[in-house]
């Protein structure tokens, strides 16, 4: 991986940056934060994520100072502006785990601040709309998201203290939950996680990433991601065997060899294509790249040089 704009830090080098950092207790609930078939240890939290929280805190402090300077110069009434962190990467690479761990660590580090987490899955078009448009097999591709609604959400969160409602997505039914919304109101720190957050859709005047103060990309060899995707699929089948309401239930009733063949075809024809065409090309737009190797082990952190 050649990333001339970034400095590479090994696990040990990155951990040294945390020396004299604020003490953060171990995450007792770590197992609940780790996604299905992901891997993360308390050592990873100490070695990778605690230095990252310290780095994010420094960037946040300077961002607040810059916003205050801007407001004074323009004669604007002082007001807090949410610090927004974007997290991107492939399906099955571990974005959700990273988002949840950072959410917990930031909440503990800044207990007097409101730290929120949101995924962009809620801004996918409902399955019925994807079917109407003939793009159900393109779910996760740029055209499957209601980008206008997502950008409107970001504008309102970034510029207003009023509550903002947004859709809820369920991975059990693999669809938007009907007649259900979540509410976001005046967060101090907002983490936005999704495969599409660093993409540049055509004909858009404003991009989602325009609202980010810092962005993170979770990276791994596509062969590793394929392995993790198929392993997770197998676990999902097992969990769905006794739940007829689960999206994967029908698939779980097939012979495993046939189900595995379908999963591989989905990876090869949809998820891998989306990764190579739309997700991986956004990697260099991130400020931080977390690189994983075998068994989800984080072996390096890359930080943009400017």
Encode pLDDT of 32-54 as tens digits: 899 888 899 999 999 999 999 99
According to the model, what pLDDT value does residue 119 have? 96
Question: What is the mean pLDDT of the segment spanning 226-243?
Answer: 93
Q: What is the dihedral of CA 104, 105, 109, 115, to 10 degrees?
A: -40
Give 33's DSSP letter.
Answer: H
Distance CA 271, CA 90 (A): 8
| Predicted TM-score of the model (pTM) | 0.94
> Mean per-residue pLDDT for 162-182?
94
Strand pairing category for 298-304 and 288-292: antiparallel
pLDDT of 25: 67
List, for residues 201-220, the tens digit of each pLDDT value.
Answer: 776 788 999 999 999 999 99
Provide the mean pLDDT of the chain: 93
Sorted by sequence, the CB contacts under 8 Å of residue 168 that are 6+ apart come out as 122, 176, 177, 180, 181, 182
Residues of the chain with pLDDT > 90: what percent?
Answer: 83
| Residue 1 scores a pLDDT above 70 | no
- Closest C-alpha to 163, from 143, 183, 149, 177: 183
- Please enumerate in sequence order all residues whose Cβ is within 8 A of that of 19, keeping only pairs 6 or more positions apart, or say none: none
pLDDT at 21 over 60: no
* Eight-state DSSP code of residue 193: E
Question: What pLDDT, in 10s, does the model give residues 260-276?
Answer: 999 999 999 999 999 99
Over residues 94-144, the pLDDT tens digits come to 999 999 999 999 999 999 999 999 999 999 999 999 999 999 999 999 999
Closest CA to 106 of 81, 84, 89, 79: 84
pLDDT for the residue numbered 22: 61
**What is the structure's pLDDT at 204?**
74
Tokens in use for 233? 């699929």
Whether 85 shows a pLDDT value over 70: the answer reads: yes
- CA 193/CA 260 separation, integer angstroms: 28
Give 168-177 pLDDT, tens digit per residue: 999 889 999 9
The answer to whether the CB of 127 falls within 8 A of the CB of 178 is no
């Amino acid at each position: 991986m050649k990333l001339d704009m970034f400095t590479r830090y090994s696990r040990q080098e990155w951990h040294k940056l945390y020396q004299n950092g604020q003490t953060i207790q171990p995450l007792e609930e770590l197992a609940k934060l780790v996604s299905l078939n992901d891997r993360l240890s308390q050592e990873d939290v100490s070695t990778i994520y605690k230095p990252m929280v310290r780095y994010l805190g420094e960037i946040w402090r300077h961002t607040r100072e810059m916003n205050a300077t801007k407001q004074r110069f323009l004669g604007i009434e002082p007001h807090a502006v949410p610090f927004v962190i974007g997290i991107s990467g492939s399906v099955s690479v571990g974005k959700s785990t990273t988002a949840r761990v950072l959410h917990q660590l930031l909440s503990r580090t800044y207990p007097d601040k409101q730290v929120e987490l949101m995924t962009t899955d809620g801004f996918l078009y409902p399955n019925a709309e994807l079917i109407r448009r003939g793009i159900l097999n393109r779910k996760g591709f740029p055209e499957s998201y209601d980008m206008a609604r997502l950008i409107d959400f970001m504008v309102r969160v970034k510029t207003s203290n009023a509550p903002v409602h947004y859709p809820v997505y369920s991975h059990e039914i693999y669809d938007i939950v009907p007649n259900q919304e979540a509410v976001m109101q005046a967060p101090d720190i907002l983490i936005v996680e999704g495969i599409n957050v660093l993409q540049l859709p055509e004909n858009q005047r404003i991009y989602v990433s325009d609202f980010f103060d810092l962005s993170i990309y979770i990276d791994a060899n596509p062969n590793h991601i394929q392995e993790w995707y198929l392993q997770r699929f197998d676990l999902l089948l097992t969990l769905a065997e006794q739940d007829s309401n689960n999206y994967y239930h029908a698939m779980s009733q097939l012979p495993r060899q046939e189900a595995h063949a379908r999963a591989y075809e989905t990876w090869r024809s949809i998820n891998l294509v989306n990764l190579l065409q739309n997700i991986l090309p956004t990697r260099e737009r991130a400020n931080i790249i977390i690189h994983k190797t075998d068994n989800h082990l984080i072996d390096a952190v890359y930080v943009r040089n400017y």
